[in-house]
Amino acid sequence: MSAVRSELVPSRRAPVLRVMTVPLLDAVLAIEVQAYTFPWTRGNFIDSLAAGYLARVLLAEDGELIGYFVAMQGFEEMHLLNLTVAERHQGQGHARRLLTELYALCASCSASAVWLEVRESNDRARALYAREGFAEAGRRRDYYPAPQGRREDALLMTRGVPREGGA
């Protein structure tokens, strides 16, 4: 029965996670500049990869880049530096998929917490992080550049991550 069904319903594979590499940066930057008024530069991404930061991309079955993250490992913690999903793919659970991968990486490297900064005005991201169990832990005044030479505060958020093996 399932063989017949598979012939009638087109197979749609789930997006796949891959390590971010320099050849993927054109696609990453295309999303980055559409998503942010003050995007990361190619140099920011290259420096992050060269420093050994954890960076993953989420690719559709056809190879289209859906989203990505960059995170920096610290002592028993992970700092999420950038998490972005292409606008046309937002609201479909891809950010949660990327975060799930980040949590798994945390567990494998004994990081017991994830930390991040988010623009105070980024209500959609703040809501996602709240749903994911992140709590506000502080504020970084004038952290982000803003239009007309102004600055915007960042909210510092954190969430615990169970260690591998439940410890």
Residues catalogued as catalytic: 117, 129
- Characterise 70 by phi-psi region: left (phi > 0), alpha (psi -120 to 50), beta (else): beta
- Characterise 153 by phi-psi region: left (phi > 0), alpha (psi -120 to 50), beta (else): beta
Q: Nearest-CA neighbor of 85 among 74, 98, 76, 75?
A: 98
Residue 122 burial class via C-beta count within 10 angstroms: exposed 0-12, middle 13-18, buried 19 and up = middle
DSSP label at residue 34: H
DSSP label at residue 37: S
